[in-house]
Amino acid sequence: MSVLSDMPVTKDESSHRIETDVLIIGAGPAGLYGTYYAGFRGLRVAVMDVLPQCGGQISAMYPEKPIFDIAGFPSVRGRDLVDNLVAQAEPYGPVHLLGQRAAELSHDADGLPVVRSDQGTEVHAGAVVITGGVGTFTPRPLPAGEAFLGRGQIYFVAQPADHTDRDVVIVGGGDSAFDWAVTLAPVARSVTLVHRTDRFRAHRATVEKARDLGIEILTDSEVSVLHGTSHVEHVEIRHRLDRTTRLLAAQTVVAALGFKADLGPLQHWGLTLRARRIAVDTRMATNIPRVYAAGDITDYPGKVRLISVGFGEVATAVNNAATVIDPEAQLFPGHSTEKEN
């Protein structure tokens, strides 16, 4: 398959068949930057993700959280980072296959990868770049809240404004729990954080900020019962040491108990894995021909899992994939400042 910079991704709607130069699997930050970079290189690109929106964990878990380790941005809100990455790639016309899990990998008669999604879409590509982060992540449930899931009990705070003038109870002691507590404090009627021990996994500065905002933090405690009719109205909290209980008004209960990560179908593709991560070489190439990986899902000696590192890795993956797709292509395409606007 050669580089076809003047042609769009080929789609056959009747058979759900798509032909492209590069398929990016994972629409998190690394995948979105890889989408841009493939377009910059003149490659046709499609991006697939099991989530219904771009952004990966950022969009699902902390869209309002400030991120401080992106080069050139002293601070950038998660939602804004994702929006900017999508806008950066948009001029190159990527095809977004959202709400679709990459289920099967095979190779056609010419040795080109074919990826089939759980929705029946068949993508024929010159190369595949896997940027799936931690894979599929499933929130850890709040046992007492399962009956009220979607009726006041939630796992992620997508829109803080939706909780204006509500009494909010957040369960957990990690970064997400405290980040959401701090984010919701200015808009909610009240915010109470409940944690089963007196030690927190969250950054100390965020814990102190929550305390400075007057957020009530109940330690050595757990949510034992949720009360309400069609929606959560009250939360019963039990102290784990003296077994006393307390009833709080609550219209929103956020279960921020972490999540379970799973590579899903990827673990059956024949990829070399190390501790549920995909092993890659310095080209970001996996052990499978024409399949590359970048970002948090990869593993190699000295690996550092940062968004900024993922940006560099996916650019490396795309550049090396370009030379396999088109043997006449140069590994280094030049700087973007050398291109005409």
What are the backbone angles phi and psi of residue 63, rounded to the nearest 5°?
Answer: -65, -25
CA–CA gap between residue 56 and residue 267 (Å, rounded): 19
Q: Answer yes or no: is 317 a known binding residue.
A: no
Tokens of 25: 């699997």
329 in Cβ contact with 322 (< 8 Å): yes
The letter for the amino acid at 101 is R
pLDDT value at residue 8: 61
Helix, strand, or coil (residue 279): strand
Choose among 212, 165, 194, 185: nearest CA to 253. Answer: 194
Q: Which domains does the chain have, with CATH numbers?
A: 10-137+260-338 (3.50.50.60), 141-257 (3.50.50.60)
Closest by Cα among 63, 74, 5, 2 to 29: 63
Query: In the prediction, which pLDDT does 4 show?
Result: 42
- Is 148 known as a binding-site position? no
Task: Name the pTM for this structure.
Answer: 0.77
pLDDT for res 77:
87
Q: Whats the size of the chain, residue-wise?
A: 341
Task: Give the three-state DSSP class for 300.
Answer: coil
Which ranges of the chain does DSSP label H, i.e. alpha helix?
29-40, 57-61, 78-89, 175-184, 204-212, 307-325
- Six-digit token string for 326: 């088109």
Pairing mode, if any, of strands 17-25 and 122-130? parallel
Q: If we measure between CA atoms, which residue out of 29, 113, 21, 44 comes closest to residue 79?
A: 29
57 is annotated as contributing to ligand binding: yes
Say which DSSP state 54 is in.
T
311 known member of a binding site? no
Is 62 annotated to bind ligand?
A: yes
Distance in angstroms (rounded) separating the CA atoms of residues 137 and 9: 29
The dihedral formed by the CA atoms of 179, 184, 185 and 188, expressed in degrees to the nearest 10: -160
Residue 279 near residue 272 (C-beta atoms within 8 A) = yes
Whole-number Cα distances in Å, 309 to 104, 109, 284: 28, 35, 12
Measuring CA to CA, which residue among 245, 232, 214 is closest to residue 166?
232
Q: Tell me the mean pLDDT per 10 residues along the chain, length 341.
A: 51 74 96 97 95 84 80 91 96 95 96 96 97 77 90 88 96 91 95 96 91 96 96 96 96 90 87 93 98 96 94 98 95 78 55
31 and 56 Cβ atoms separated by less than 8 Å: yes
